[in-house]
Amino acid sequence: MDGLTEAKLRVLAGERSFERGLGYVDAVSGVEVGDGWVRASVRGTERYEVELRLGGRGRPAGTCDCPYGQEGNFCKHLVALGLTVIAQEADLPRQRESARDRARGLDTWLSGLSREELLTLVRDEIAEDRQLRRRLELRAASARGDLAGIRPRIRELLDVGPFAQYGYVDYPDARAYADQAVQAVSAIRSLTAVGRASAAMALAREAIGLLAGVVESVDDSDGWLGQIGADLADAHHDACRAARPDPEELASWLVAHALDDAADLTDIDPLDYEELLGEQGLIALRRYATEAWTANRTGWAEKHLMQRLAKSGRDIDTVIAVHAADLAPNGHTHLLIARELDAAARPAEALEWAERGICETEDLATVDTALVGHLTDRYTKAGRLTDAVTLRRGHFAASRTLLTYQQLRAAARAAACWPPERENALDLLRADAGRVFVDALLDDKDVDATWQAAGEYGAHDGQWLTLADLSRPTRPADALAVYHRLAARLTRETGNHAYEQLVSLLVSIRDCHRHLGTPDDFTTYVSELRTTQKRKRNLVRLMDEYGL
């Protein structure tokens, strides 16, 4: 199987299952090879059926009916089959071709049977295989357009009861349930094909509701039910195209479906039915959507549908009305409205809504920062630089972070008033006596002020390191003291990441000694360090690479 390696098996199974799988290689038998899959039996406590396959992205996956495998795990039996496949890799093309030969041989044999012989064969098989019989019964009912025979069978096919333990379908059984549910989709499509499109449309809607009702009870990690939901949506659309239902009725169902939980399963877009709805249906669609939104103006589904329909009709005022009916307290909705108005070339109204968003946010510390950025950008483009600074100043005062400090600095520099703004901003941060004050000074690259602030208010190791890096050319002795302290801590740690950090510090320490004119002191320091750390071979090797 292409792309399969012991390393991949070890990752998939985990160390314990991989090691246990090594002991089961000789228990693998009955290997069958197909395109992208290998099946076999593995003798364990019992005989287990195992299938190994490549996923859509080339990632090996598999199933096994042992208890551990049924929980969705890549078990030791799968490891054993995988190792067998790797060992037989050179023979896989021959085995695949052999499987194709068997399939061709079966097809040739079946093609040579007479009608009576084929009927006898099928009757014998359905007499022994109940599931095959039921599948063929459903296909026969579909071909006849027998709605009374199909409806109860579809209900059975979408019933999770036979697969659920304690009311839930676990991962190992989800594929089997999905395979069964696919038959329901096929039956619905068959009804359309035999001229019973109206019945197919009704059954598709019923099946969508049934599937939506059980989806939360199924472990759909592989997305099988999502695909079935999409297939049911396609079957419904095809049936509608053939049946040409009443536009008013279709519009009513589309709106009801869009507001139902089943919408997430099918992803049906009412506007995909625009041709079938016609002008009358589209008017009804918008009427029903408006009625639903009017009854629940804060409902997400109602708002989304209204906005979708309004945008399709270029009705910007309705889009704004939907947003305005449920304004977020942090100005986010005001920003959405402003962007819609900007896109509609209505800049004055857009600016008004953005400013309202700032004014109506009670605490600027909680404001949507994108709104502040949007309004600042508009002020700047309009040449209102003082207003931009005022906005950034207010946001910084409410939320004193390094980011809001940087944003205030950018606005104030554009307005040529940064020095006085900086003093006021630093006064606020100094009053907080927090590390943002140190961050701001570092960001300004005010080295001397940062040393004073770090000593007075404290700093974390990352700040000290940044300060030392900035200070090496002008205050090498101070920087050296920081590097020595940080290096001392790292000498007590192990691991390549710690070694890389330590070597980086040693390079900086060497640079400090170069500025101080004391290279001999560095040589002595490194020599002592090599002696105390000599057992850390990766560290010593890394020091050698950097000439330390």
- Tens of pLDDT, residue by residue over 231-282, are 999 999 999 999 999 999 999 999 999 999 888 889 899 999 999 999 999 9
* Same domain flag for 406 and 476: no
Q: Which domain holds residue 43?
A: 6-110
> Mean pLDDT lowest for which of 127-131, 246-250, 318-322, 481-485?
127-131
* Same domain flag for 20 and 95: yes
Closest to 66 in 3D by CA, of 83, 41, 32, 33: 41
**End residue of a domain, out of 44, 79, 110:** 110
Is residue 481 domain-resident? yes
More confident residue, 73 or 360: 360
More confident residue, 127 or 256: 256
> Mean pLDDT lowest for which of 482-486, 511-515, 544-548?
544-548
What's the pLDDT at 234?
Answer: 95
Phi, psi at 259, each rounded to 5°: -95, 0
Query: Is 520 buried (19+), middle (13-18) or exposed (0-12) by CB count in 10 A?
Result: exposed
CA angle 253, 256, 259 (to 5 degrees): 145
How many domains does the structure of the chain reveal? 3
Is residue 516 domain-resident? yes
* Same domain flag for 423 and 490: no
- Distance of alpha carbon 483 from alpha carbon 516, whole angstroms: 14
What would the pLDDT profile of 188-208 be if each residue is shown by its tens digit? Answer: 998 898 889 999 999 999 999
**End residue of a domain, out of 110, 144, 179:** 110
Provide, rounded to the nearest whole percent, the portion of the chain with pLDDT above 90: 60
* Same domain flag for 13 and 97: yes
> Cα torsion for 32, 38, 43, 49, to the nearest 10°?
-100
What would the pLDDT profile of 81-108 be if each residue is shown by its tens digit? Answer: 989 888 888 777 787 788 788 888 888 9
What would the pLDDT profile of 395-454 be if each residue is shown by its tens digit? Answer: 999 999 999 999 999 999 999 999 999 999 999 999 887 789 999 999 999 999 999 999
* Same domain flag for 477 and 425: no
**End residue of a domain, out of 110, 126, 158:** 110
* Same domain flag for 415 and 332: yes
* Same domain flag for 489 and 412: no
Is residue 16 domain-resident? yes
Is residue 438 domain-resident? no
Give the pLDDT mean for 470-493.
Answer: 94
Is residue 139 domain-resident? no
The structure's pTM equals 0.65
Is residue 203 domain-resident? no
Could you tell me the CATH number of the domain that includes residue 363? 1.25.40.10
More confident residue, 47 or 384: 384
* Same domain flag for 410 and 479: no
Is residue 444 domain-resident? no
* Same domain flag for 333 and 427: yes
